[in-house]
Amino acid sequence: MDSNASLVNNQSAFEALDLCCQKIIEKMGDKPIEDWRLSDYNALSSKLGSQTKVYLSINTLKRLFGQLKTPQRYFPQKATRDALAQFIGYRDWHEFELVNAVGKGTVTETVTIPEPQLPLKKKKANGRVMALILSLIVVSVAISIYFLFWKNNGLDAQRAELVCENPFGSVPHTAVFKLKSTGDSDRQYHIDFMDEATTAEISGRKEVAKFFRNPGVVYATLLAGNKPIDTVAVYMQTKGWVANSGNDTSTAFPIAGLKPLNPKNISVSKKQLDSAGLATNKPFLVGYSNIKPSGISGDNFSFKCRVFAEQSRPGTQCVETTIIILGEKHRHLLTLNRQNCVAFSEYKFSEKRVIGSEQFLGALAFDPVNGGDIEIRVVNKHVSLILNQKKVLEVSYNKTIGKVMGIKILFSGIGKAVSPILQDLSTREIF
């Protein structure tokens, strides 16, 4: 049984974790972790999930590599460590520690014990004994894995349900989460809030309260081990289009007190950013949000908008434009860059995701410095993307995102959105 509490006080455990992280960095191209961007973490999360079926959020990866500071150094649970070890070629974390003997600051890549020279007959006898022992070990491990899998992925996990006591709020909002379970009330689960908050532990006896500062929809996912078993949404609503900004995804500065902006010309000025307390001498984001319930299907709609983005700012070579359509269950996301920065472009329509660092997205090159038109058309879960009146992408997905609950338009630097319109293709309802 893994005891995380005891491991985190063990220096050799952290030495092993450091070595594992270094090997992961080498596998991802040996780029210094200090130079990693959001796209690098996205790429690792995607590859790790594809290979091990364990999906870690961006914030979890940042804590793992020491790039997101916490009061105590982060040490992941065993299931996460097993996935990290499997990602770099080991069966599990235990094998990684055995092969890479770590202790007292010394790392040895392999430990080899020479085989004693025995008489031939004694070797054969010992060989039969060893074969029997190995067979028993294999059977024991197989039985253990079966019951572990059954416990973590079977009936216990299916009986747990995540509930948000107050899913609708304004900005800022403190949401309270509880667990409904017919199983062991002391059993520990985890809640993943993506980039909006740190992962939290929850059980039938423990509530979790989380503070959300950004307008939008947060998808809180309940994890049994590392398997997602339930998701609830929390809505930070607005009164029309509002603006906020930050120097990274974890900070938020409300602009003009989150008062409604002109929907035909959604923009902010540098003076308003200065008044909000934003450091405009460093790279920053400006986000426009319109969050409210609707009856519009997130799988049958059209979205049109004309956008204007800045030229490169000091410290920012690639100026991104991002459109997010938020649904009850999932979201659609589109990040666009100009031609020489398409490695940082990506699209995610429900579960269907492609990032520019893994697949060339040159057809999605988009430079709206002098204005550009974006149209997203979804018909029965089939997406058509039209940029400047030219169809550049067609893709289908499987999982519904439910009703549309919000729209976000994000810019690197100061951007402007002109008359965004989202309309249901069946009912003609306008968001």
User: Which of 71, 86, 108 is the endpoint of a domain?
Assistant: 108
User: Which of 108, 123, 151 is the endpoint of a domain?
Assistant: 108
Report the pLDDT value the prediction gives residue 250, as an integer from 0 to 100: 57
- Given a contact cutoff of 8 angstroms between Cβ atoms, the answer to whether 292 and 405 are in contact is yes
- Given a contact cutoff of 8 angstroms between Cβ atoms, the answer to whether 241 and 267 are in contact is no
Is the preceding peptide bond at 228 cis, omega within 30 degrees of 0? Answer: no
CA distance 382 to 215: 28
- Given a contact cutoff of 8 angstroms between Cβ atoms, the answer to whether 178 and 210 are in contact is no
Residues 301, 417 within the same domain: yes
CA distance 230 to 221: 6
Report the pLDDT value the prediction gives residue 107, as an integer from 0 to 100: 40
Report the pLDDT value the prediction gives residue 298, as an integer from 0 to 100: 97
Residues 219, 246 within the same domain: no
Quick check: is 133 in a domain? no
Residues 21, 165 within the same domain: no
For the chain, what is the domain count?
A: 3
Residues 98, 175 within the same domain: no
* Helices and strands in the chain, H and E counts: 9, 23
* Residue from 253, 250, 282 nearest 38 by CA: 250
Residues 45, 168 within the same domain: no
Domain of residue 258, residue span: 242-424
User: Which of 108, 133, 151 is the endpoint of a domain?
Assistant: 108
Series of mean pLDDT values for 10-residue runs along the chain (431 residues): 49 86 89 84 84 82 83 82 90 86 45 42 57 67 54 52 93 92 80 85 90 91 87 94 78 81 93 84 88 95 95 75 95 94 94 91 94 97 97 96 96 93 96 95
Report the pLDDT value the prediction gives residue 97, as an integer from 0 to 100: 86
Residues 270, 394 within the same domain: yes
Quick check: is 141 in a domain? no
The DSSP H or E segment spanning 138 is helix 120-153
Residue 141: CB atoms within 10 A of its CB come to 10
Please, which residues have CB within 8 angstroms of residue 169's CB and are 6 or more apart in sequence? Answer: 175, 212, 234, 235, 236, 237
**DSSP codes of every residue in 261-324:** P-TTSB---HHHHHHTT--TTS--EEEEEEE-----BTTEEEEEEEEE-PPPBTTBSS--EEEE
Residues 55, 180 within the same domain: no
* Residue from 329, 352, 339, 340 nearest 400 by CA: 329
Residues 40, 56 within the same domain: yes
Quick check: is 115 in a domain? no
Residues 19, 68 within the same domain: yes
**Whole-model pTM?**
0.64
